[in-house]
Structure 1
Amino acid sequence: MTRSIRVAVNGYGVIGKRVADAVRAQSDMTLIGVSDVATDWRTRVLQTKGVPLFAATAPAEDAFRAAGVQTAGRLDDLLGEADVVVDCTPKRVAADNVPQYRKRQLKFILQGGEKHGITGHSFVAEANFETAIGRESTRVVSCNTTATVRTLSALKRAGLLGRARGTLLRRATDPWESHQGGIMNTLVPEPEIPSHQGPDARTVDPDLDVVTMAVKVPETIAHLHYWSVQLTRPVDKEEVLNAFRSSSRILLMKTEHGLDALNAVKELMADRGRSRSDLYEVALWADMLTVQGDELFYAYMVDNQAIVVPETIDAIRALDGRETSGRRSIAATDSAMGIEGRLFAEAGARTP
């Protein structure tokens, strides 16, 4: 029997805790432990799940001891048992961790806050799984970039994608930190055009002709994207929808079903029994989508806490190298995580 992939998660914040749960849901992976520095409720909840907790640093080990939190050792001990480590530490911290991963010749995954050049490879499963097979490392791109690549790749696979121009309304902060920061009663434009998401998408697929503009808005539920796409030829709306249906990670929805705002979509995820009400798919309004000749206009919602989690699971398989089919990996991840993007779209107004 083939041994499961032994996965370590370094950093148990917004993404790390979701990745840890997703790893535990996979039949071909084993979560061997989580490393962190926080002694607050997050790591205490982790321990109720029976997951070994490791101190990320020597000071963190002292802090855990002082707080009465039992640890299984330090990060170095955890890495010694892992096949792949997923680094979910805060932005720029991960880059400092890379030398110790490489010293151990350990495969590692970074998140989108780090620079592409650190790994030399950026990842979205439906776009470039095969190019990550057996690599030392990859970087799962940010939430907004993941959504951008997913939707544009669907159009590209259908031979419809010419050039794309997007406006991104970015939520100000994570919900659990909204009492510490964020913005109120204002909008904050990202100071450069293109915003960083367009160039970042080209680290996954250099052939994408994409420009993005972004603005921070005073809410914390999710991001909202508006896109204008020049198609390769005039088409009807149904052909475009069929292109999006080719992705299990694009959820087509309708405003007429009451899904007319971001909060309603999050409530749908809660009613579907999703852990933490997480939306793993790009939630795209099918009835809003408009085609005029060879021009396409559409909008969708992005859950920045969740969308990169299935991508991270697929990246683990790709680096491990035993699974060589992106399609099979995506199907396995989707099944384990309850991702069935087409179910609600095709079910019309019926209960999903």
Structure 2
Amino acid sequence: MSKTRVAVNGYGVIGKRVADAVLLQPDMELVGIADIATDWRIKSVAGRIPVFASTQDALTAMNAEGLHPLGTLDDLLAQADIIVDSTPKHVAAGNLPRYTAAGVKAIFQGGESHSTTGHSFVAQANYASALGRDTTRVVSCNTTSIVRVLGALRDAGLLLRARGVLIRRATDPWESHLGGIMNTMVPEAKIPSHQGPDAQTVIPDLDLVTIAAKGAHTQTHNHYWTLQLTREATREEVLDALRAAPRIAFIRMSDGLVALNSTIELMRDLGRPRGDMWEVAVWEDLVTVQGDEAFLTYQVYNEAIVVPETIDAIRALTRTAPDAATSMKITDDTLGMRDDFLSPLPRP
């Protein structure tokens, strides 16, 4: 069986992680990455992965730096079945005509609007509707977490409506010297914040409202949810619904995981590449149920959570896995994803 030939345009926070994940997949081949950078980001990968220049100017600049790219983005597209575009927001949408002309399927990230592709993707929720499409958009890190967690409770018949508060990181850690905020918190300018409507592009009948603020930290997001259930339920019923869902892993304050930084350190101690966490980390001991209301909080590792979804989107568009369960098992096994970071439990 021939492997799907995958290209990545944009070797930044998401692109480099997607490229490494593709290399782990038994049914995929990474034919190369493209970028415009000529600094350490590209020099660190030159010789390990085939490098191409996203533009003609970048080709000249890369050659001047001694990087010797193998060609331009058009040359890379000629070798690919599908491309993952992880270039900066709004740049990606402008690349779509180029991909279409090359006859290459394309996956975009959550910085682009739903209208760019007409389809937004989270594997567990709508894999089937992406089968064979030419394009899709993997939703943002926060939206991915919302669909995973609220989708799990909805699928269990427990969720009526949800109201959430999101404390977002200020900027990516590697860019913290360029901007961000200090000693303050900045509310998002409108309610609902964009994550709620974005989740509804994946699950249209999901009744939720999100409120967000940007905090003075650079690693991970934190969500707080008040959930109206369809009926009175027990705490164990809510936990069972979360346990039954993919890509949700429990952490506990009783284990000393009392803040965002402690979970990040745990990922490093577990030997995760770059300290990545692809799962949503739900504080198990904080899940509270009172009658027909539930309350919970969880952590989202913004740099990594969309990587497994992107891998599954590749299989959906190319029809190389017939359903979500088949694709997600391959992805999760190759990445080494967990149900519980300290006390692994078998999935129901």
After TM superposition, the score normalised by the length of structure 2 is: 0.98
Report if the CA contact (8 A) 1:248-1:339 is conserved: no
Q: Note the C-alpha offset of 1:344.
A: 3.0
1:29 aligns with 2:28: yes
Q: Which residue, 225, 246, 251 being the options, matches 1:253? A: 251
Give 5+ residue unaligned stretches, structure 2: none
Q: Note the C-alpha offset of 1:157.
A: 1.1
Q: What's 1:8 paired with?
A: 7
CA distance, structure 1, for counterparts of residue 159 and residue 326 of structure 2: 25
One-letter code of the match for 2:224? Y
Please show how residues 126-145 of structure 1 align to structure 2 within 5 Å.
Answer: 126-145=124-143
Q: What per-residue deviation string (whole Å, max 9, x for no partner) do you get for residues 205-259 of structure 1? A: 1010011000000001110000001001111111101100112310111101011
CA distance, structure 1, for counterparts of residue 320 and residue 215 of structure 2: 43
Please show how residues 56-95 of structure 1 align to structure 2 within 5 Å.
Answer: 56-95=54-93
Q: What's 1:42 paired with?
A: 41
Q: What's 1:341 paired with?
A: 339
Q: What per-residue deviation string (whole Å, max 9, x for no partner) do you get for residues 251-284 of structure 1? A: 1111010111111111111111100000100000
One-letter code of the match for 1:18? R
CA distance, structure 2, for counterparts of residue 264 and residue 48 of structure 1: 35
| SS in structure 2 at match of 1:34 | strand
Q: Note the C-alpha offset of 1:167.
A: 0.2
| SS in structure 1 at match of 2:201 | helix
Q: Which residue, 47, 50, 53 being the options, matches 2:51? A: 53
Report if the CA contact (8 A) 2:288-2:294 is conserved: yes
1:118 aligns with 2:100: no
Report if the CA contact (8 A) 1:198-1:211 is conserved: yes
Q: Note the C-alpha offset of 1:133.
A: 0.6
One-letter code of the match for 1:204? V
Q: What's 2:152 paired with?
A: 154
Report if the CA contact (8 A) 1:22-1:309 is conserved: yes
Q: What's 2:294 paired with?
A: 296
Report if the CA contact (8 A) 1:248-1:340 is conserved: no
CA distance, structure 1, for counterparts of residue 250 and residue 230 of structure 2: 22
Q: What's 2:102 paired with?
A: 104
Q: Note the C-alpha offset of 1:68.
A: 1.1
Q: What per-residue deviation string (whole Å, max 9, x for no partner) do you get for residues 177-231 of structure 1? A: 0011000011100010000000000000101001100000000111000000100
One-letter code of the match for 1:32? V
Q: What's 2:213 paired with?
A: 215
Query: What's the Cα RMSD here?
Result: 0.9
Q: What's 1:268 paired with?
A: 266
Give 5+ residue unaligned stretches, structure 1: 348-352
Please show how residues 297-316 of structure 1 align to structure 2 within 5 Å.
Answer: 297-316=295-314
Give runs of ≥4 in structure 1 deviating > 6 Å: none
CA distance, structure 1, for counterparts of residue 338 and residue 223 of structure 2: 22
One-letter code of the match for 2:123? A
CA distance, structure 1, for counterparts of residue 254 and residue 155 of structure 2: 29
Report if the CA contact (8 A) 1:248-1:342 is conserved: no
Q: What's 1:182 paired with?
A: 180
One-letter code of the match for 1:21? D
One-letter code of the match for 2:29? T
One-letter code of the match for 1:91? K
Report if the CA contact (8 A) 1:224-1:299 is conserved: yes
Q: Note the C-alpha offset of 1:126.
A: 0.7
Report if the CA contact (8 A) 1:23-1:30 is conserved: yes
CA distance, structure 2, for counterparts of residue 24 and residue 268 of structure 1: 25
| SS in structure 2 at match of 1:9 | strand
Q: What's 2:330 paired with?
A: 332
Q: What's 1:199 paired with?
A: 197
One-letter code of the match for 1:5? T
Report if the CA contact (8 A) 1:6-1:29 is conserved: yes
Report if the CA contact (8 A) 1:253-1:345 is conserved: no
| SS in structure 2 at match of 1:33 | strand
CA distance, structure 1, for counterparts of residue 283 and residue 154 of structure 2: 19
Report if the CA contact (8 A) 2:38-2:65 is conserved: yes
Report if the CA contact (8 A) 2:32-2:50 is conserved: yes
CA distance, structure 1, for counterparts of residue 213 and residue 341 of structure 2: 32
1:278 aligns with 2:276: yes
Q: What's 1:171 paired with?
A: 169
Q: Note the C-alpha offset of 1:340.
A: 1.7
CA distance, structure 1, for counterparts of residue 299 and residue 333 of structure 2: 22
Percent identity reads 58
Report if the CA contact (8 A) 2:338-2:344 is conserved: no
One-letter code of the match for 2:90? R
